[in-house]
Structure 1
């Protein structure tokens, strides 16, 4: 098959038809045709030749051109597509054939007195090729491949900005438990683990999903859908509640046990609008529309509160809470409930407390009033025994100290004298004696700890480091941290402890100095001080980085 005047316009008509069918740019189809014709020409004239094809967008005429480039002698490898300055001279003349042209920097050369230069291009038109059956089939494959690539790019560009929104589609088929959904100009996948448990679909069923992710992959854009994502519920409420769409009410947090139960925290920025009532709607119409879409999933709508304990009390509804104790450093919270409310607070299979934990981002430890009373009694007895053993006190006097809030020897030994004098029966002499005994015991403990640390091989560089007590040095030595260099290589969380999340569950990492109540910030400061002392870090650079960080924050605030 040759490209003759009879079928030149047919090329453009074919390109237009394919472009309309695939909803892509006709120019991309024409470029694919040019590439396919160029490949066919190379199979005829030689694979090493640089043959290019240009199809006129108006007439459909295909022009076949052989291109050769001037290169350095030592870089000359392909004699069919390149030539040296010397071999280019016979072609470098003003008198050229009408079908030939010299280009420099993309422009036709008019001054031939300079001679050929590196990078000059010589174009010469060659006769069109006859395309046999194999060549035509190859050209067809190239065109189809290019069209598929253009179609994939168009799909990706269309859906990439729709991630995080809800889309309506039609079920096409099911593959290994995954649902393939027709979303108009492409296909999306609803994985088995993204379906609400008891849902089942048949071909041609209508389905509403949340676009969780859009990825560009070799096999084409992959659109991943979800019906279990918390964001799906938030988007559904946005569709049903105009106040959320308008920004008057904001969804602060969502926690779901898909298909069973969910909790959603909302806040109103208009004092005259109740956020919970607005989300529920008249006779529950708004929330019921969301419940129906989620296959009957029960939804608790909770008012958001910046005060974490108050918010947690709301999140644990319908259970009643007696007391809340928050440990912000550990990201943990203790909740005390009446004995008869324990099962309600925990929920069936721990569902209620698990959702409340997801909503607040805290680990929640629930105990009954009886359990909390037993724990407090145990702590009281342990502290009483500590003061009896170390300060040589009788039980009654030790209990007086504990009842006044003293928890350790440091508090007794170094507290202001007036705080001891408020205890019934304690005068200045008694208070002074108490402090003397406490300090002597602490000094003995420190001396023993230091001797133990030296036995383990601790060096003076660590002993003399400011901020570490003998007991801390002993704990470090037991963990094989024996020099200032060893200490400087420690991470802050290795010293102060911390929390990591694995598979959605928070796991405690014990720190070497955690029992001494060293905070993460204190650990960071100590490690950085050690590194400065060792010359590993330049203090001037730290100050410059800190100043730059502050400037960045100020700039961001100003932009906001």
Structure 2
């Protein structure tokens, strides 16, 4: 099959027809044809030759050319596609390295096998161009809603026709009660667009919280215009959802705008989500206030915020406990997702019992260690004293401010507290030495005898052992496993050692041992302080 003048224009017509059908650039199809013809020509003239084909974009005439490149003498490897500068003088007056000598060669007569090979090359190139076009089209639509038509179901996954391609709605991304038949119209959220060996894949979702947010953006013009912002959303797909909104215009109520006249706006979203109940909550920058709003319709008596642990303790009236937790823990789980905090809920009775237990425990501590009666111990606890160190080293005036405490009583209490602490320190130091703790570690500034005893129980007996510790091993910390926050107990955590203190002590030990350059240690400490300051500023913002 030679390319004659009769079918030259047919090449261009074919390229345009394929481009229209596949919705790609005709230039890409022509380039694929050139590559396929060049490959077929190499099979005729020899694979070692550099044969190139150029199709005229106006006439369709295909020109076959042999190209040879000028290379240095020692770089000559392929005599059919390369030549030296000396050899090139027969063709060029002043040949330079890298120059190309182009000779036109007769068009090839494509046999059946060569023609089939050329066809496969064209199809492959067109398929790649089609995939690139599809990926470029949908990659920028990630995070938006798209309408499609159900084509078929495969193993519970729904294949959706989205116009210029197909997308997949996996079974775990469907709302539980939904069932679709071929031809049904469907609205989904484009969750991800990825390149894969079989082509670009568009992944859809109807359970993603952002699907609900995008639906509200479509139904509420104030959200689309940026007057109202969706700050957070959480869903239990098909059952219940919570969405937090804030208005940047004082004259517009964000909750009312999202609900709409007689609930028309929120009802449109509810209908799309198969009857999913939606709680619309005003967002508040104060974490505690926001949490109280998020736990609606339950009433909250008190909120205790533990910033370090990333947890919130919520106290509710006894009769409100089931409402606050919700069916199968749904309400508190959604509130936790919305706020990004772990929430512990307890009743007022449970909280009162815990307070009483703590009060009794501290009272007994003061009675046993200070040798005082129950009434005096209770007075100390009521005034906020929680441990012996506070009694021993607090300013004397604070003890004198307690009703019934004179100067002699206050001084005696402090003396007893200090004597007890000194006695405990001596026992702890003796236990540490008996356990084999090295004197260098005992002399290390920043560790109390009780800390040394605790370290010895964990096998940390030398300064080298201490220097190999991580800060979280000493002060404790939090890790996340399978979406759940897990507490890591620190060896010295019960002594109220912070991560910053632990890091400073470990770094000091490493400097003393010569493991770390003191100047580098100072730079690291300054960087940590800068990062902490930036985090504090972000939190305040």
TM-score for the superposition, normalised by structure 1? 0.90
Is 1:18 the equivalent of 2:18? yes
Q: SS of the residue aligned with 1:481?
A: coil
Is 1:178 the equivalent of 2:175? no
- CA offsets 1:415-439 (integer angstroms, 9 cap, x no match): 1111111223321121111111111
**Which residue does the alignment assign to 1:27?**
27
- Shift of residue 378 of structure 1? 1.1
**Which residue does the alignment assign to 2:344?**
365
The separation in 1 between residues aligned to 2:509 and 2:224, in whole angstroms, is 53
Q: SS of the residue aligned with 1:375?
A: helix
**Which residue does the alignment assign to 1:105?**
none
The separation in 1 between residues aligned to 2:421 and 2:76, in whole angstroms, is 85
Q: Is the 8 A contact 1:263 1:299 kept in 2?
A: yes
Question: Equivalent residues in 2 for 1:47-196 (5 A)?
Answer: 47-83=47-83, 85=84, 89-93=86-90, 96=91, 111-112=93-94, 116-196=95-175
Assess, with a 3 A threshold, how the Cα gap between structure 1 residues 548 and 468 changes in structure 2: closer, same or farther: closer
**Which residue does the alignment assign to 2:392?**
413
**Which residue does the alignment assign to 2:519?**
539
Higher mean C-alpha displacement, 495-504 vs 57-66 = 495-504
Is 1:520 the equivalent of 2:499? yes
The number of aligned residues is 534
**Which residue does the alignment assign to 1:448?**
427
Assess, with a 3 A threshold, how the Cα gap between structure 1 residues 237 and 535 changes in structure 2: closer, same or farther: same
Q: Is the 8 A contact 2:70 2:88 kept in 1?
A: no
The separation in 2 between residues aligned to 1:199 and 1:507, in whole angstroms, is 36
The separation in 2 between residues aligned to 1:222 and 1:33, in whole angstroms, is 27
The separation in 2 between residues aligned to 1:341 and 1:290, in whole angstroms, is 29
Assess, with a 3 A threshold, how the Cα gap between structure 1 residues 548 and 215 changes in structure 2: closer, same or farther: farther
Assess, with a 3 A threshold, how the Cα gap between structure 1 residues 338 and 174 changes in structure 2: closer, same or farther: same
Q: Is the 8 A contact 1:263 1:301 kept in 2?
A: yes
- CA offsets 1:188-232 (integer angstroms, 9 cap, x no match): 111111111111111111111111111122211111111111111
Gaps of 5+ in 2: none
Assess, with a 3 A threshold, how the Cα gap between structure 1 residues 548 and 303 changes in structure 2: closer, same or farther: closer
The separation in 2 between residues aligned to 1:524 and 1:242, in whole angstroms, is 51
Structure 1 stretches of at least 4 aligned residues deviating more than 6 Å after TM superposition = 547-550
Question: Equivalent residues in 2 for 1:460-471 (5 A)?
Answer: 460-471=439-450
Q: Is the 8 A contact 1:532 1:539 kept in 2?
A: no
Q: Is the 8 A contact 2:302 2:316 kept in 1?
A: yes
- Shift of residue 461 of structure 1? 4.1
The separation in 1 between residues aligned to 2:188 and 2:505, in whole angstroms, is 51
The separation in 1 between residues aligned to 2:312 and 2:48, in whole angstroms, is 73
**Which residue does the alignment assign to 1:326?**
305
- Shift of residue 469 of structure 1? 2.3
The separation in 1 between residues aligned to 2:97 and 2:462, in whole angstroms, is 64
- CA offsets 1:233-286 (integer angstroms, 9 cap, x no match): 111111111111111111111011000001111111111111111111111111
The separation in 2 between residues aligned to 1:537 and 1:165, in whole angstroms, is 52
Is 1:317 the equivalent of 2:296? yes
Higher mean C-alpha displacement, 503-512 vs 529-538 = 529-538
Q: Is the 8 A contact 2:507 2:521 kept in 1?
A: no
TM-score for the superposition, normalised by structure 2? 0.93
Partner of residue 221 from structure 1, selected from 200, 213, 217? 200
The separation in 1 between residues aligned to 2:51 and 2:349, in whole angstroms, is 89
Assess, with a 3 A threshold, how the Cα gap between structure 1 residues 18 and 374 changes in structure 2: closer, same or farther: same
Q: Is the 8 A contact 2:158 2:168 kept in 1?
A: yes
Question: Equivalent residues in 2 for 1:263-342 (5 A)?
Answer: 263-342=242-321
Assess, with a 3 A threshold, how the Cα gap between structure 1 residues 130 and 500 changes in structure 2: closer, same or farther: same
**Which residue does the alignment assign to 1:45?**
45
Higher mean C-alpha displacement, 133-142 vs 73-82 = 73-82
- Shift of residue 477 of structure 1? 3.1
Assess, with a 3 A threshold, how the Cα gap between structure 1 residues 77 and 471 changes in structure 2: closer, same or farther: farther
Assess, with a 3 A threshold, how the Cα gap between structure 1 residues 36 and 454 changes in structure 2: closer, same or farther: farther
Is 1:348 the equivalent of 2:327? yes
The separation in 1 between residues aligned to 2:126 and 2:117, in whole angstroms, is 14
**Which residue does the alignment assign to 2:372?**
393
**Which residue does the alignment assign to 2:382?**
403
**Which residue does the alignment assign to 2:413?**
434
